[in-house]
Homo-oligomer: A and B are copies of this chain.
């Protein structure tokens, strides 16, 4: 029967990381528990929602953990409740002791709390992913890729494949990441420093958002493994599994235009602020669009809501070339596209009022392009 003592704050931090995979209202009740595995090497905390699984290891050699294991075993505890109880304990250390009938006694200071646990055998097995020949990625680069693309994935289940982000490695070093909800698209390409085996997978955007929350910036690199419709991201202490989406991702390369009739460079923040003002009123219009007018080198934004009012605004443009153009689109797509850009300036290139326009950071050497589809208005 389990017995260990540990630093409360480190234990709580590991529990909270693991809890990111646990949903309180899972259709499978056992998945609302956290699994605690205690071995001579340390403690493994396991959580899963069926889609994402997290294993978090606390080593007996981790000096900050102050972990002393005196007896081994496994148990399941109601995750949210257990974490609240640990968080409420008075002392900096806690003693965790299993007693009869799968009960555990937490002792900390003068406080003694007994909780009912469940048999660890009830917990589903997390699918194994063979861990050989890893692809090693810098965590920051992977998180940047996710932040630059995942927001453009679809939130609707009508075309499930579009709820994922398409990751493709070709020539062992060219990584393309792309997401689209069919109204807008975001694609980032990078060249890996270390070669890896080619792959072509679609990762649920929700899993990727959890990934960015679970892997803190202190974790410098992650190893990536694929197998059996699963992907595993692994750092020294954390294993993060997610299911992959099945099906063919649409060919997005053919969507990206290369010839344009009008090109404008904007200050990213000024354009975003103008679009946020426009959105206040476009939300009250029938088609929810803002109209951008480019005429004689002057760019202006217009919204007219018969019920609420109207916006007319000249937007500072740093460089306007090509033909005059009037185009309407949903300002939210442009706002979210601009949020994903770190560059101070962006270049937007148009073909016509009815063809998607592209947005690229203008003062960086990145291979990062976004597409937004206009809305036809009469």
Contact digits for A171-211, partner B, Cβ 8 Å, 1 yes 0 no: 00000000000000000000000000000000000000000
Stretch at the interface among A44-52, A84-92, A145-153, A216-224: A84-92
User: Contact: A277 with B313, CB < 8 Å?
Assistant: no
User: Contact: A85 with B280, CB < 8 Å?
Assistant: yes
Q: Tell me, yes or no, whether A110 is within 8 Å of chain B by CB.
A: yes
CB distance from A9 to the nearest CB of B (A): 15
User: Contact: B280 with A311, CB < 8 Å?
Assistant: no
In the assembled complex, which residues on chain B have CB atoms less than 8 Å from the CB atom of A115?
308-309
In the bound assembly, the distance between CA atoms of A349 and B147 in angstroms comes to 58
User: Contact: A280 with B88, CB < 8 Å?
Assistant: yes
Q: Tell me, yes or no, whether A3 is within 8 Å of chain B by CB.
A: no
Residue from B81, B270, B309 within 8 A of A116 (CB atoms): B309
User: Contact: B116 with A307, CB < 8 Å?
Assistant: yes
Task: Classify chain A's interface size.
Answer: 20 to 34
Q: Tell me, yes or no, whether A38 is within 8 Å of chain B by CB.
A: no
Q: Which residue in chain B gives the minimum CB-CB distance to A78?
A: B308
Q: Which residue in chain B gives the minimum CB-CB distance to A115?
A: B309
User: Contact: B88 with A308, CB < 8 Å?
Assistant: no
Q: Which residue in chain B gives the minimum CB-CB distance to A273?
A: B90
CB distance from A95 to the nearest CB of B (A): 14
Q: A103-B309, A309-B103 are in contact. Are A113 and B81 (CB under 8 A)?
A: no
In the assembled complex, which residues on chain B have CB atoms less than 8 Å from the CB atom of A277?
85, 88-90, 111, 113
Of residues 305 through 329 on chain A, the ones whose CB sits less than 8 Å from some CB of chain B are 307-316
Q: Which 3 A-B pairs have the closest CB atoms?
A: A115-B309, A111-B313, A110-B314
Q: Given A85-B281, A113-B313, 18 more contacts at CB 8 Å?
A: A81-B280, A84-B280, A85-B280, A90-B273, A110-B314, A110-B316, A111-B274, A111-B311, A111-B313, A112-B311, A112-B312, A113-B281, A113-B309, A113-B310, A113-B311, A114-B312, A115-B309, A116-B308
